């Protein structure tokens, strides 16, 4: 079975550019989570969806960040405009009925 798929795996961009991260959850899972991990702040939950509906976006840093889940098999996290402090590893995870979260391999974002 395919796990959670994220793309790209690495992204290097310049300050001010738009960045879009993509996630395909495990088929049949009804919840999807976006996390950010940095050395300073550890693992932070940014937003999560249940049945494609955003439930809690209190972790989204600011208006530069937005996330969508147009269907059960796809989600995006967009940063516009990007800043150097957004450099981090971004994880997507999915789960079924509030049980185990399975993580994707992550996207390592570097903003110059």
Partner 1 sequence: AQTVTQSQPEMSVQEAETVTLSCTYDTSENNYYLFWYKQPPSRQMILVIRQEAYKQQNATENRFSVNFQKAAKSFSLKISDSQLGDTAMYFCAFIENRDDKIIFGKGTRLHILP
> Do 6 and 22 meet the contact criterion of CB atoms below 8 Å apart?
yes
Q: Which stretch binds partner 1 (CB under 8 A): 21-29, 48-56, 60-68, 76-84?
A: 48-56
C-alpha 75/C-alpha 71 separation (Å) is 8
7 contacts partner 1 (rule: CB under 8 A): no
Closest CA to 107 of 8, 17, 20: 8
Residue (39 or 62) nearer to partner 1, CB: 39
Among 42, 53, 63, 70, contact with partner 1 (rule: CB under 8 A)? 42
> Do 82 and 13 meet the contact criterion of CB atoms below 8 Å apart?
yes
Residue (65 or 90) nearer to partner 1, CB: 90
5 contacts partner 1 (rule: CB under 8 A): no
Q: Which stretch binds partner 1 (CB under 8 A): 10-18, 36-44, 61-69, 76-84?
A: 36-44
* Residue 108: exposure state from Cβ atoms within 10 A (0-12, 13-18, ≥19): middle
Smallest distance from partner 1 to CB 28, Å: 16
């Amino acid at each position: 079975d395919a796990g959670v798929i994220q793309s790209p795996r690495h992204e290097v961009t310049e300050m001010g550019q738009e960045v879009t991260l993509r996630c395909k959850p495990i088929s049949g899972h009804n919840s999807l989570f976006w996390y950010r991990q940095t050395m300073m702040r550890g693992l932070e939950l940014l937003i999560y969806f249940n049945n494609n509906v955003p439930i809690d976006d209190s972790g989204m840093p600011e208006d530069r960040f937005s996330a969508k889940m147009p269907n059960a098999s796809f989600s995006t996290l967009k940063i516009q405009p990007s800043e150097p402090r957004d450099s981090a590893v971004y994880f997507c995870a999915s789960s079924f009925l509030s049980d185990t979260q399975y993580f994707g391999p992550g996207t390592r974002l570097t903003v110059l």
